[in-house]
Amino acid sequence: MLLAAVLGLAGSLPGNAQSDLTYIPACQDVYISMGTNNVTVFNQTDVLLCAVNVAGGNGTENVSYPGCPVVQFDISGCNITDDDAVVLLLKAQSILAGSDPVMVALMSIGSDWNEGSDFTTFLVNILPAWNIIKGKDATAMSSSTDGDAVFAFDVSKKIKDAKAKGNSISFLLEAISNESAEISFGSREGEVGPCLVIMPYPKAQLSDRSDLNSTSNSSLIFDQISDIPADGGRIIA
């Protein structure tokens, strides 16, 4: 719904709406396995695994995270104003879940890492977000629960706060469910990786548009965004 609403707003802009959009692909991405006894960084893969394992027994519940994507964006070349909206898009190649819904939570982390960093470096950058997870502070998390192939997160404030401090921003994603679940997102090494979309909020009066309330095919919209013609928007690599 978030993705459909944002692109509905973009479509309501006068003139060529896509030319007002800015696209920023991820510059670094890995996924981290945080099991009960070890931490492993996977940095050469076409997927970003986002998974949770929930195991019960003897009246206790053990939860581990065999996949937590970590994504970084270079925002040095973009000019973001207070009126801009920023959405993070990730496309799932597969979703394996039980009867219980799976939610993906997103949190900002430090950006002092690259794809060659060891797990200790990642833990230092992730620690603030991990404290948020343990404290169950929902106010510091963004979430996506639509359940279709494209996950969209409103990161407008996070991007603006990061831009005021530096030239990069990083995110940690975590699967949340009462049952074991697994989502495989496309990575930047594959055909469709994580992407930021920046658009100005339309100042013109919005007409009564049915597409603002549409649950249109988000995967098709993502495919259109990932293959932009030369005059259809601005890409910051």
Task: Locate the domains of the chain by residue range.
Answer: 26-197
**Tokens in use for 75?**
């925002």
Q: What does the pLDDT read at residue 231?
A: 44
Strand-pairing partners, residue 40, are 33
152-173 exposure pattern, b = at least 16 Cβ within 10 A, e = fewer: bbbbbebbbebbeeeebbbbbb
List pLDDT tens digits, range 190-206: 888 999 999 987 766 55
Stretch 10-26: mean pLDDT: 67
Strand 84-97 versus strand 195-200 pairing type: antiparallel
pLDDT category at 230 given cuts 50, 70, 90 is: very low
pTM greater than 0.95 (yes/no): no
Alpha carbon distance 101, 108 (integer Å): 23
Determine the pLDDT at residue 39. 80
Q: What angle do CA 130, 159, 40 make, to 5 degrees?
A: 35
**Mean pLDDT score across all residues of the chain:** 79
Q: Do 155 and 88 touch, CB atoms closer than 8 A?
A: yes
* Residue recorded with tokens 């979309």: 197
Q: Which residue bears the tokens 């900002």?
A: 108
pLDDT (mean) for 35-51: 85
Decide which of 23 and 208 is more confident.
23
Q: pLDDT tens digit string along 52-109?
A: 999 876 556 788 899 999 999 999 988 888 889 999 999 999 999 888 888 899 999 9
Count of residues making up the chain: 237
Over residues 166-190, the pLDDT tens digits come to 999 999 999 988 899 999 999 999 8
* pLDDT for residue 225: 54
SS3 at position 15: coil
